[in-house]
Amino acid sequence: MTVIRILFAAVFVWFVCLSSGNLLFRALRLKFPRRERIFLAFLSGAALVSTVMFLLAAFTLVYTGVLLIIGFAVVSAWVYFCRPDFRNPRGLGPNLPWLWQIAFWAPLLIYGCLYLLTALAPETDPAGTTYRVGLITRYYGHHGFFPIYTNMYAGLAEGIEMLFWIAFSLGRHSAAAIVEMLFLSAMPFGMLSFGERIGMPRAGVAGALLFYLAPIVGKDGTIAYVDVATAAVVFATFYILQIWIDETSGRNGNRLLLSTGLLAGFGFACKITASTAVVYTVAFVLIVAVKRKGWGPGLRAVFVVTSSACVISLPWVLKNLIQFPNPFFPLFNHWFPNPYQYPMVEDRLRHDMARFNGVAYSQIPFELTVGGHLVGTIGPIFLLAPLALLSLRFRSGRHLLTAFVAMSLRTSATPPPGFSSLHFPSWRWLLP
């Protein structure tokens, strides 16, 4: 019975997010191929559902009955207005010869069963139990947010945790890990559809499997963490930007930017270091729009994408500003002094994360792929990652590598004279 409750909770979150995204696309009159639409609708819908959960929590209205009523209402609206075809399986797998079909589906199903059994186990990870789900359990008893000053992680944006909260209300602790697994399971299909969009479906299959089978991805995606979900959100942001490039001069241009902005803002809400997605999106839109249409339309495009990003990200900034007061708590305490986090504690944390487990910068490639001293590996095959430079011959390859560099940049700020600088590698924080 417990397993049924956990699975029901995860399926409920999946359909509510998918329904919300499809209703958004219907309102914006955006049309995508089936597999592409499922992936992008789930991610876009997750951004909307997370924000609605924030509003419910802010007004202490998070009751299981309320969540069920709203959730079933959203799914019913999707079925009524969008008329989804549940009986047609076409368009889910790759449109490739049967050997490639087997190469895609066999690892996906085998590892999917392993991942599911792992995620169903009771949550024992320290981070998952102490603050990813731990804070949610405390909020759950109050039916919404209340000030928590003794745990600095209460100041982090909790975009994915809002989805955990829905699942926790229905299936308790293990349901949160299954929600994270939803994002892990969605990513291969999103990468596959992107490969098909750029005319390289085999590369899409290879990329999807390299991601899905990476050891650290399997570990992170089956516990109550948010890193795989954040990666999916960032990838979806990049994905819609690529679609927007081809629609810049068309009627779908600004409508696509609205969806892109929502996903970029959700990246910040998922993990503060994913705020680089917002910076990349704004810079990318500005450069492309100005080049093609001039400064006036370019600035209007930036306004559209920035405004929609703020809809998702600004509530978390305001929450911290009211509660701590530091809009970016527990970081930037040099800029926003407060009695809840001393700057020296932040400096120590920055120092420790910059030298995680004593790993020097020169040792990172080995430890990240083989060594494991960064709490997991992505696999020795990624030692061949420099071969990705060969993709610079193609436009999509140049955009992918540019996005990779942008998302890997250090988050830094230079405080006024007299303060020590804040400078830490953001990707370190993405490691579980």
List the domain boundaries for the chain.
2-429
How far is 54 from 296, CA to CA, in rounded Å? 35
Range 195-223 average pLDDT: 94
How far is 232 from 190, CA to CA, in rounded Å? 9
pLDDT digits (tens, 9 = 90+) for 4-25: 999 999 999 999 999 999 999 9
Evaluate if residue 174 carries a pLDDT over 90: no
Range 124-131 average pLDDT: 84
Q: What's the pLDDT band for 124 if we cut at 50, 70, 90?
A: confident
User: Which is higher by pLDDT, 86 or 229?
Assistant: 229
Evaluate if residue 192 carries a pLDDT over 50: yes
Q: What's the pLDDT band for 249 if we cut at 50, 70, 90?
A: low
Percent with pLDDT over 70 in the chain: 92
Inter-axis angle of helices 2-28 and 173-197, nearest 10: 40
Evaluate if residue 298 carries a pLDDT over 60: yes
- Torsion 245-246-248-252 (CA) sign: negative
Contact 262, 47 (CB under 8 A): yes
Evaluate if residue 426 carries a pLDDT over 50: no
pLDDT of residue 109: 96
Range 112-131 average pLDDT: 89
Which residues are CB-neighbours of 260 under 8 A, at least 6 positions away?
Answer: 237, 240, 241, 244, 281, 285, 305, 308
User: Which is higher by pLDDT, 96 or 188?
Assistant: 188
> How many angstroms separate the Cα of 269 from the Cα of each of 90, 136, 243, 362?
34, 16, 23, 31
| pTM score of the predicted model | 0.91
Evaluate if residue 429 carries a pLDDT over 60: no
Evaluate if residue 415 carries a pLDDT over 70: no
User: What integer best gives the mean pLDDT of the chain?
Assistant: 88
pLDDT of residue 71: 97
Evaluate if residue 209 carries a pLDDT over 90: yes
Range 336-357 average pLDDT: 86
Q: What's the pLDDT band for 292 if we cut at 50, 70, 90?
A: confident
Centroid of chain to Cα 250: 28
User: Which is higher by pLDDT, 247 or 81?
Assistant: 81
Comparing CA positions, the residue from 303, 148, 135 lying closest to residue 224 is 135
Range 161-177 average pLDDT: 92
pLDDT of residue 89: 66
pLDDT digits (tens, 9 = 90+) for 34-50: 889 999 999 999 999 99
Comparing CA positions, the residue from 264, 266, 267, 246 lying closest to residue 395 is 246
Buried b (16+ CB within 10 A) or exposed e, 38-64: bbbbbbbbbbbbbbbbbebbeeeebee
Which residues are CB-neighbours of 300 under 8 A, at least 6 positions away?
Answer: none
Contact 237, 282 (CB under 8 A): no
Range 168-181 average pLDDT: 91
Range 329-354 average pLDDT: 88
In terms of Cβ atoms closer than 10 Å to its own Cβ (0-12, 13-18, 19+), residue 109 is exposed
Range 121-146 average pLDDT: 89
Evaluate if residue 417 carries a pLDDT over 70: no
Count of CB atoms within 10 A of residue 267's CB? 33
How far is 82 from 22, CA to CA, in rounded Å? 7
Evaluate if residue 86 carries a pLDDT over 80: no
Evaluate if residue 397 carries a pLDDT over 50: yes
Evaluate if residue 162 carries a pLDDT over 70: yes
